[in-house]
Amino acid sequence: MVQEFRLPGVTLFGWGAVERVGQEAARLGKRAMLVTGRSAMKRTGTADRVTKLLVDAGMSVVAYDQIKSDPGSRTIDRAAQVARSESCDVILGLGGGSSMDAARAIAAMAVSKDSILDHVRGKPIERPGLPLINVATTSGTASEITAVAVVTDEERELKMGVKSPHWFARVAITDPELTVTMPPEVTAATGLDALTHAVESYLSTGATAPSEGLALRAIELVGAHLREAFKDGGNRAAREGMSLASMTAGMAFANSGLGLVHGLVHPIGARLGVSHGAACGRMLPHVLRYNQPAASEKLARVGQALTCRANATADDAIEAVEALLRDLNVPSGLGDVTISEEQMAGLARDGLLAGAVRTNPRPVTEQDALEVLQRARGR
């Protein structure tokens, strides 16, 4: 069977990689829209730094700093209109997953008469958008590497992933230096997102030999570096290790797909307000227990990668994830979150709408998803 493996056109990794952003952007156009959130990139000075690099390379810059967490369809459509009216010919996403996902969707919609909602609801994506550059400032989402944008459908209160091979960035930049300003709780949440990407990619029914190797390496890196990055954000080795973990996990799941954790955390985030990365960590051990009968050998290999113990078992893998959660002060499960029975049923139903569930190693019914959620809640 022929297996396909795709990545961005150019991937830059390492301390100071962001210094290349101007020359890379200048190869692609003359006028860039810089897509960021509302405050973090300004507060850290990163937005000003990137803007200067672009200007020094001879480009003009249009700033769009209205991206909230879990960007909504209306924000995407408004930004695409701004990109058209300002004659932008390059889109540059700077920040965490929300900013980079938004930039990806804006780049696509800037050359289209559609609304992003048309694609969220199933319309095929038939052509590339404007050239896209994504620069990561967190170590978890790997949105600089992937071809997926997670967009909130406000009308249905749903977060949905939209994916197309046309949506890979032309340039992806992963610079550990940009992650040093992350506070501990963000370091924990994004690191758990990276771990979940790696584990779900490895267990996915869509896994290939290249994606499995990348996923296992990412799991090893998280096990070696996340605790230290959480404890000491200035630790260069830990920050570099987590940036590499995020990037390699992204390379893996961009080609393999994910699983039930990501199916469930989208409605959990949209309906309950739990951050994406923390929700991934909270749900991961409970979904692993569900998947264990179908993936015990691979799950044991996850345990070996995470603990560096050659004799680790599938049970050890789950225990290692729960130990990591404790060390990061993140609860396992949803026992501390108020959820009505009606909400529980809705989360189970909507969790199966995500394409991620199609590559879960064990088939999932709505009742199965509900039982996983009930166990996560402690019922």
Is there a domain that residue 260 lies in?
yes
Return the CATH number at 372: 1.20.1090.10
pLDDT band at 4 (very low <50, low <70, confident <90, very high): confident
Are 111 and 170 in the same domain?
yes
- Mean pLDDT of the 246-262 span: 97
Average pLDDT over residues 123-137: 94
**Which tens digit of pLDDT belongs to each residue from 314-324?**
999 999 999 99
Residue 174 shares a structural domain with residue 188: no
Short-list 186, 372, 169, 338, CA closest to 265:
372
Partners of 63 in beta bridges: 34
- Report pLDDT for 213: 97
pLDDT at 39: 84
Q: Mean pLDDT, to the nearest integer, of 271-285?
A: 94
The confidence score (pLDDT) of residue 155 equals 80
CA distances (Å), 123 to each of 158, 162, 163, 240, in order?
Answer: 17, 10, 11, 39
Taking the C-alpha atoms of residue 330 and residue 333, their distance in angstroms, rounded to an integer, is 9
84 shares its domain with 129: yes
209 dihedral zone (left: phi>0; alpha: psi -120 to 50; beta): alpha
pLDDT band for 121, please (50, 70, 90 cuts): confident
State the chain's mean pLDDT as an integer: 95
Would you say 328 and 281 are in contact if contact means Cβ atoms under 8 Å apart? yes
Local confidence band at 204 (pLDDT 50, 70, 90 cut-offs): very high
Residue 64 has pLDDT above 80, yes or no: yes
Range of the domain at 221: 184-377
**346 and 204 in a common domain:** yes
- Name which residue leads in pLDDT, 228 or 269: 228
Asked whether residue 73 is domain-assigned, the answer is yes
Nearest alpha carbon to residue 53 among 28, 29, 26, 27: 26
In a domain, 269, yes or no: yes
The residue that leads in pLDDT, 269 or 330, is: 330
Instruction: Answer yes or no: do 353 and 311 share one domain.
Output: yes
Weakest mean pLDDT among 64-68, 141-145, 269-273: 269-273
* CATH number of the CATH domain containing 87: 3.40.50.1970
Task: List pLDDT tens digits, range 11-41.
Answer: 999 999 999 999 999 999 999 999 999 888 9
Does one domain contain both 219 and 114? no
The pLDDT score that the predictor gives to residue 161 is 83
Q: Specify the pLDDT at position 271.
A: 86
Provide the number of structural domains found in the chain: 2
pLDDT at 168 over 90: yes
Q: Looking at the structure, tell me whether residues 194 and 330 fall in a common domain.
A: yes
CA distance 20 to 279: 34
Residue 352 has a pLDDT of 93
pLDDT attached to residue 120: 86
Q: Is residue 342 part of a domain?
A: yes
Output the furthest CA–CA distance in the chain (Å, rounded). Answer: 60
Count other C-beta atoms under 10 Å from residue 208's C-beta: 17
Q: Residue 161 domain-assigned? A: yes
Among 134, 151, 178, which residue terminates a domain?
A: 178
The Cα–Cα gap between 312 and 331 comes to 23
Are 194 and 261 found together in one domain?
A: yes
Question: Residue 379: pLDDT band by 50, 70, 90 thresholds?
Answer: low
The reply to whether 131 and 26 lie within a common domain is: yes
| The pLDDT value given to residue 189 | 97
Burial grade of 308 (CB within 10 A; 0-12, 13-18, 19 or more): exposed
Residues 60 and 202 in one domain: no
Q: Per-residue pLDDT averaged across 297-320, rounded?
A: 97
